[in-house]
Amino acid sequence: DSFPAVNNEMKLGFTNKYNTFSIYNELRWALDPAAEFPRESLIDVGNGLFYDPHTNPALQLAGLEETIHRHDILESVTRRIVECRVVIITLGLAEVWRDKIADIFLNHTPVPDALRNHPDRYELHITNFAQNLSNLERIHTLLSRFGHADVQIVVTVSPVPLMATFSGEDVVIANTYSKSMLRTVAQEWAAAHKNVHYFPSYEIVQNSDRAVTWEEDLRHVKGEVANHVMKLFLRHYLEESSVVTSKLTA
């Protein structure tokens, strides 16, 4: 098992990508034969353990061979996107870290051991509209070239707010910038392509009663609200079928 001591529900999150750079990177490594995963971006954090900054940060550290094997598995899973007629992309973060040595943007904030052992290796980027739209255009090119002949893309924006920020701004200000910018990027991308569609899960959550919508931490959406959003999605996009009907009435 390449994902020890982790339940099946958590394993589903190990393919999560939190910014447009990491989404593009993973698709490029999986689909483009000319692209190669930068093993030099894997970091030795001591005691024989290595850190992969392109995976989910909840993943337990492992040795070099196992860390490489895990990413091979993730690439294999990502490669199955070529079989998908519908691809859903959720935009999450505007704050992105870059590995200056490997010259690559990361999926998430470097773990403390990586920052401690390599204090000059990583730099923070507060990304802008042009950068994120450019990444989405490159993603569209990849999916058009390697994906399903009739691929349809649904883009959404995560309603989950920032818990903290490295920008130096108040977290509320940083979160407002991030969500506003990514929401505008999503709109622009959808307007530019007939096969890209914006689904307003962000607006559904943000414009609902806070007491009903959020868990006690005011960051995570309650399960029943997420189910409501999915029912709206099914009703809007899918043709009537016994499967869809059963989900809508559940």
Give pLDDT tens digits for 3-58: 554 555 445 677 899 999 999 999 999 999 999 999 999 999 889 999 999 998 88
pLDDT tens digits, one per residue of 113-125: 888 888 999 999 9
pLDDT tens digits, one per residue of 57-76: 888 889 999 999 999 999 99
Return the pLDDT at 12. Answer: 60
pLDDT tens digits, one per residue of 139-174: 999 999 999 999 999 999 999 999 999 999 999 999
Return the pLDDT at 14. Answer: 76
- Among 25, 21, 26, 3, residue whose Cα is nearest residue 13: 3
Residue 187 reports pLDDT greater than 70: yes
| Whole-number percent of the chain with pLDDT over 70 | 90
- How much is the pTM? 0.90
H-helix segments, 35-106: 64-79
User: Tokens 């490594």 appear where?
Assistant: 29
What residues contact residue 30 under an 8 Å CB cut-off, 6+ apart? 75, 76, 78, 79, 81
Return the pLDDT at 240. Answer: 61
Return the pLDDT at 9. Answer: 46
Averaged pLDDT score across all residues of the chain = 91
Return the pLDDT at 58. Answer: 81
- Backbone φ and ψ for 84, nearest 5 degrees, come out as -95, 125
User: Tokens 């701004």 appear where?
Assistant: 169
Return the pLDDT at 244. Answer: 54
Sequence spans of domains, the chain: 8-207
Distance, first Cα to last Cα, the chain: 34
| Whole-number percent of the chain with pLDDT over 90 | 80
Residue 217 reports pLDDT greater than 50: yes
Please tell me the distance from the alpha carbon of residue 185 to that of residue 139, in angstroms, as a whole number.
Answer: 13
Rounded alpha-carbon distances, angstroms, from residue 139 to 20, 46, 127, 185: 9, 35, 17, 13
- In contact, 44 and 114? CB cutoff 8 Å: no
Structure tokens at 68: 């490489």
Return the pLDDT at 241. Answer: 55
